[in-house]
Amino acid sequence: MRVYLDNAATTPVDPAVLKEMYQVMENHYGNPSSIHSHGREVRTLIEKARKTIAGLLHTSPAEIFFTSGGTEADNTAIRCSIMDHGIQHAITSKLEHHAVLHTLEAMQKAGTIELSFVETDEKGNIDTAHLETLLQNPNRSLVSLMHANNELGTLSDIELIGDLCEKYNAIYHSDTVQTMGHYEHDLSKLKAHFIVGAAHKFHGPKGVGFLHVNHRIKIKPMIYGGSQERNMRGGTENVYGIVGLAKALEMAYTEMPQHQQHIQGLKTYMMEQLKANIPDVAFNGETNPAKSLYTVLNVSFPEMEMADMLLFSLDIAGISASGGSACSSGSDIGSHVLTAIGASPDRPAVRFSFSKYNTRQEVDYTVDKLKEILLVNA
89, amino acid identity: H
Give the DSSP per-residue string, 195-255.
EEEEGGGTTS-SS-EEEEE-TT-----SS-SSSHHHHTS-S---HHHHHHHHHHHHHHHHH
Catalytic residue ranges = 327
Asked whether the beta carbons of 137 and 324 are under 8 A apart, the reply is no
What is Dmax (Cα atoms) for the chain?
Answer: 68
Work out the angle at residue 75's Cα, subtended by the Cα atoms of residues 88 and 235, and round it to the nearest 5 degrees.
130
How many whole angstroms separate alpha carbon 268 and alpha carbon 281? 14
What's the first-to-final CA gap in the chain, in angstroms?
25
Asked whether the beta carbons of 217 and 193 are under 8 A apart, the reply is yes
Asked whether the beta carbons of 226 and 33 are under 8 A apart, the reply is yes
* Edge-to-edge strand list for the sheet holding 114-117: 64-67, 209-213, 194-198, 171-174, 141-144, 89-92, 114-117
3-class state of residue 55 by DSSP: helix
